[in-house]
Structure 1
Amino acid sequence: FLLKPEWDKGNANVFLSAMGQAFFSLSLGMGCLCTYASYFKKDTNLTKTAFSVSIIDTFVAILAGLIIFPAAFSVGIQPDAGPSLIFITLPNVFQQAFSGVPLLAYIFSVMFYILLAVAALTSTISMHEVVTAYLHEEFYLSRKRAASFVTGGCIFLGILCSLSLGVGKGYTIFGLNLFDLFDFVTAKIMLPLGGLCISIFTGWYLNKKIVWKEISNNGTLKVTFYKLLIFILKFIAPIAITLIFIKELGFLKL
C-alpha cells in the first residue's frame, strides 16, 4: 500500500495535497522556524540546518507509515479514518499482540498514550513559543507573564474545541463544529497564507543584503544557489503557495 504507489493516480491534486501537508509537517508559515532560528548562534549554518530538518521529517514520516498502515489494515480500519487511528486502531493492535497477557496490552497502551501526550506537548511548546516571544518582545511582558497569557488562552480554546466533540457537537459554524472549524482555518487558510506572506516579504521587500548575510553567515560560507533561492522566493514559491491555498479552500479542481 505504501511502497507500491499507483502512479496513474498521481495527478495535480495529489501533489498539491502533498505540498499542503508539507506546510503542516514542517511547521511552515506559522512562525515556528523563524522564532527558533532567531535563537541560533551567528555561526549556525541555516542551509545545513534546514536540509537536516527536511531529511529527518521525511524519515520519520516514512517510518510512521511503515507502522501505522499495517496496524490499521490488521484490524480492518481504513488509513484515512482520522483520529480513530490513534484511539481505536492502536489499542486493538495492542490487545491482539498481547491477547494471551491482557496486563501487557494494558501496560503498552498506557505507555503509548503517555508518549503521545509528551509528543503533543513538545509540538505545543514550539507553537506556544511563537506567541510568547511576540508578546515578550513587542509588548515588553516578562516571559513568565507572556507564557501565562498564552497558556491560559490555549487552555480556554482547547476546552471549547474538546466540548465541541461531545456535549457541544450540536453547535456549528458554517456547518462545522468548533474543533473542525479551528482545524480548517489553521491548516487550510492560515498556514498557506502565512507561507505566502513570508515568501513575498523575503523575496520582494526584505533587504537582500540581510538575506545574503543570514544564508552565508556574513559571507563566510559559499552559497552557489543564492540567486536561484531569490528567484524561487520571488516567483515560483508565491505561485505554488497560491495554488495550494486555492486548492485547500476547494476552489481548484484539477
Structure 2
Amino acid sequence: MLTPPEQFGIVEPGLYRSETLHPTHFPFIRSLNLKTAILLTPELPSRAMSNFFEENQIRLIDLALGSWKNNNNNNNSNSSSNANANTTDAAQGIGEVGGSGTGGSGGGNTGNNTTVTTPSVPVALFQTSWWKPLSEELIKEGLEMVLDANNYPIIVMDTSGIHEIGTFMGCLRRLQHWNFSSIIVEYRAYAGSKARYVNEQFIELFDVDWITLPESQPTWWIEKEQMWHEEEEERELQLQQEREEQAQWKKDQLAITTVESSS
C-alpha cells in the first residue's frame, strides 16, 4: 500500500511539496520517479532518507543547511563584538527565545550550554534581523532550481510541510502572477491554525524581479506564462477599446452641445 506524506501536495505537473519523509512514505515517493529533492530546513536529513535518495539516484539539495551555517557564523562574530554591550535583561530575553539560558542574574554558569543555536545578541537586533522565515537568497536559488526543467520531476520539503515550504510556494505563486488573496488561501489550506502572519508578509514583500529564469523551463511554466501574456494583451485591447469609446462619447456630447448653442 502506498502511503503519501500527510502534507504532500501536487503544486504543478512534476513539482511536489511535502514534509520530511519517513520510511513508510518511500514506496509512494518512489512511484513519482523523482530526479531532484530540495530541503528547505537547516537540519541534516535522516540516514534513512539520505539512503533512500541515494539508492534511487535522486539528487538531494539541502539549501537551508549551508545558509544557516553562514548566518550562524556571522552571528557568532556579531556576538563577540557586542558581548560587552549586552545588558542582563537582553541576555535573559535571548535565553528564553533560544530555549537555553545564556545569561541571567547571579552570573550563572553557561559553560555547559555548548549547542545554543540562537545568536547571543540584544533582543532588538534579534527582532529586526531574524523575523524572516527564509532568506531571499535561498528563495531565489530554490525557485531557479524549480523552474529548471533539467531538475524534473522534483519535490520540495521542509520539516513540517507548512512554514518554510508554504512561504517558498507563495513566492512561486507570486512569480506566476497569482492574485495575493488566492496565494494566501492556498497557504492557509496547508497551514490551517498554524498559519503565520510573518510568512504571509514575506510572500507579499518578496521581489519576484530578482529571479533569473533558466534557459530550460518546464512545460507547465511555459504554457501558463503564454496564457498570462495572452490575457494581458486581451485586457489591454479591452481597455483601449473602452478609452476610444469614452473619447467618442465626449466628442459626440461636445457636438450636441455646439448644435444646441447655435440654435
**TM-score category, normalised to shorter length:** under 0.3
- Greater gyration radius: 2
TM-score, length basis structure 1: 0.24
Q: Higher relative contact order at CA 8 Å, sep ≥6: structure 1 or structure 2?
A: 1
Q: Which has the higher helix share?
A: 1
